[in-house]
C-alpha cells in the first residue's frame, strides 16, 4: 500500500511539473515560472533577514534552489505569523498550482494538516511542527543537543554561577532545547543557578529584552535564547549590560561583537536535500509512522559558531571541554533529555 501511494504521488508531482501553471502571489522572491520545474512555495512566519529562525530557512531554501536551478522554482512569502493568515496563504499557493508548499514554524501545524487533506496533489512540508498526512512531512532540529552544548558553555563561562535561558512559545523544539540547556549546564556544574523565562510569543522582542534585563540585574552573566525575534531583545540587553549572550539559529556575533559569546547555526538545506531526494525518486510517503527529517550535529545540520570570548572567561581547559562535548554530540555519544 505504501509503495502504491508513493508511486502515485511521484506520478502526480511529475505531471504537475510538466503542466503549465498560472502565476500568482506577486512581490515574492525568486522563480522563473517555467512549467517544467518543480514549483516550491516557502511561507515564513517572520522576516527573511531576522538573523534567526526565518533567515536560516530562507538562506537554506535559496541555496537549495540555486543548486537545483534547472529543476526547481522557489517563491517566498514573509511575515505570515498568525494562524488566521496561514490557512488562506497555503490555499492560495495550492490553488495556483504549486507542487510543494513549506510552512516554516510550529504555528503552521494545524493549517498544514487541514489544507493538506484538501489538496492531495500537493506536497506540504511542516517545520518544527506536529502531525502527518499522506502528502506531508515534518522537518525539525534536535535542539536538545544544541541546548545541551549551550548549557555547557554557559556553565563553564559564568563568573557569578548564575545563567539564564529565554524562549518564546513553550513547546516543540524550544522546550527540548531548554531541557537540554539545563542538562548540559548541570553536567559540568551541578550547583549552577539557572533562571528560565518563556515570553509566550516568538516575536516578543520587548518581553525578551525585559526578561533578559531582569536576569542580568539579578546577577546572571550568560544567557542563551532559543528563537526568532526574541533573540534580538536578548542580544540588545546583553550589549546594554555588557554581559554575555549565546545566540541561536544563525551566527549573531555581528549584532553585538563584544557580547555574543557563541551560539548555534542551523542548516535547513540539509533537511531539504533529503526530503526532495525522496520526492524525486518516488519514495516520499508520510502516513503517521514516518520519521521526521531532523537536522542535528551528527548529520551536519546543526553546528556551533566560533567561540568569541572577548572577556577571557573561558580557560584553555574549558575550551577543550566544550570541543569534546561538541565532538561527542556529533557521534551521538551523549544521553540527551527525552521530552
**What pLDDT score does 202 carry?**
87
The answer to the question of residue 74 being in a domain is: yes
| Cell 511529475 -> residue | 14
**What pLDDT score does 34 carry?**
54
The answer to the question of residue 339 being in a domain is: no
**Contact status, residue 113 vs residue 87, Cβ threshold 8 Å:** no
Q: How many residues does the chain have?
A: 339
Phi, psi dihedrals of residue 181, rounded to the nearest 5°: -60, -45
d(CA 183, CA 197): 16
**What pLDDT score does 3 carry?**
41
**Contact status, residue 165 vs residue 234, Cβ threshold 8 Å:** no
Using alpha carbons, list the distances in angstroms from residue 221 to 31, 238, 254.
46, 9, 20
pLDDT tens string, the chain, 339 residues long: the values are 444 444 344 444 444 443 333 333 333 454 444 558 999 999 999 999 999 999 999 999 999 999 999 999 999 999 999 999 999 999 999 999 999 999 999 999 999 999 999 999 999 999 999 998 999 999 999 999 999 999 999 999 999 999 999 999 888 899 999 999 999 999 999 999 999 999 999 889 999 999 999 999 999 999 999 978 899 999 999 999 999 999 999 999 999 999 999 999 999 999 999 999 998 888 887 555 567 999 999 999 999 999 999 999 999 999 999 999 999 999 999 999 987
Q: Show contacts of 240-249: CB within 8 Å, 24+ apart.
A: 240/213, 241/213, 241/216, 241/217, 243/216, 244/157, 244/311, 244/313, 245/212, 246/150, 246/153, 246/154, 246/222, 247/305, 248/52, 248/146, 248/150, 248/177, 248/224, 249/52, 249/53, 249/55, 249/56
CATH value at residue 154: 3.40.50.2300
Range of the domain at 29: 2-141+267-295
The answer to the question of residue 50 being in a domain is: yes
* 19 in the same domain as 112: yes
- Tell which residue, 99, 136, 93, 76, has the closest CA to residue 19: 99
**What pLDDT score does 203 carry?**
87
**What pLDDT score does 289 carry?**
58
* 169 in the same domain as 132: no
HSE toward the beta carbon, residue 278, CA cutoff 13 A: 19
pTM reported for the whole predicted model: 0.88
DSSP 113-141: HHHHHH-TTSEEEEES-----TTEEEEEE
**What pLDDT score does 27 carry?**
36
* 129 in the same domain as 116: yes
The answer to the question of residue 335 being in a domain is: no
* 252 in the same domain as 282: no
Total domains in the fold of the chain: 2
The answer to the question of residue 91 being in a domain is: yes
* 44 in the same domain as 22: yes
Phi, psi dihedrals of residue 81, rounded to the nearest 5°: -100, -40
Amino acid at each position: 500500500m505504501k509503495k502504491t501511494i508513493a508511486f502515485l504521488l511521484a506520478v502526480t508531482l511529475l505531471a504537475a511539473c510538466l503542466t503549465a501553471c498560472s502565476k500568482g502571489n506577486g512581490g515574492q522572491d525568486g522563480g522563473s515560472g517555467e512549467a517544467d520545474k518543480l514549483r516550491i512555495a516557502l511561507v515564513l512566519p517572520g522576516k527573511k533577514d531576522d538573523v534567526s529562525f526565518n533567515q536560516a530557512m530562507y538562506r537554506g531554501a535559496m541555496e537549495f534552489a540555486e543548486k537545483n536551478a534547472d529543476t526547481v522554482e522557489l517563491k517566498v512569502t514573509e511575515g505570515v505569523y498568525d494562524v488566521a493568515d496561514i490557512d488562506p496563504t497555503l490555499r492560495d499557493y495550492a490553488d495556483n498550482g504549486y507542487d510543494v508548499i513549506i510552512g516554516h514554524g510550529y504555528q503552521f501545524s494545524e493549517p498544514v494538516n487541514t489544507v493538506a487533506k484538501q489538496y492531495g496533489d500537493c506536497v506540504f512540508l511542516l517545520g518544527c511542527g506536529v502531525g502527518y498526512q499522506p502528502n506531508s512531512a515534518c522537518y525539525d532540529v534536535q535542539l536538545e543537543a544544541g541546548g545541551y552544548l549551550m548549557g555547557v558553555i554557559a556553565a563553564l563561562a559564568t563568573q557569578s554561577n548564575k545563567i539564564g535561558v529565554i524562549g518564546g512559545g513553550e513547546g516543540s523544539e524550544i522546550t527540548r532545547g531548554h531541557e537540554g540547556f539545563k542538562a548540559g549546564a548541570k553536567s559540568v556544574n551541578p550547583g549552577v543557578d539557572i533562571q528560565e523565562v518563556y515570553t509566550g510569543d516568538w516575536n516578543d522582542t520587548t518581553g525578551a529584552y525585559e526578561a533578559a534585563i531582569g536576569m542580568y540585574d539579578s546577577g546572571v552573566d550568560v544567557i542563551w535564547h532559543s528563537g526568532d525575534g526574541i533573540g534580538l531583545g536578548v542580544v540588545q540587553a546583553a550589549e546594554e549590560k555588557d554581559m554575555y549572550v549565546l545566540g541561536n539559529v544563525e551566527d549573531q556575533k555581528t549584532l553585538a561583537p563584544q557580547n555574543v559569546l557563541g551560539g548555534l547555526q542551523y542548516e535547513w538545506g540539509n533537511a531539504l536535500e533529503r526530503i526532495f531526494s525522496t520526492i524525486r525518486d518516488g519514495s516520499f510517503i508520510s502516513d503517521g509512522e514516518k520519521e521526521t527529517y531532523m537536522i542535528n550535529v551528527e548529520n551536519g545540520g546543526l553546528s556551533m559558531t566560533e567561540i568569541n570570548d572577548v572577556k577571557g572567561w573561558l580557560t584553555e581547559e574549558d575550551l577543550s571541554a566544550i570541543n569534546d562535548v561538541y565532538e561527542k554530540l556529533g557521534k551521538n555519544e551523549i544521553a540527551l533529555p527525552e521530552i
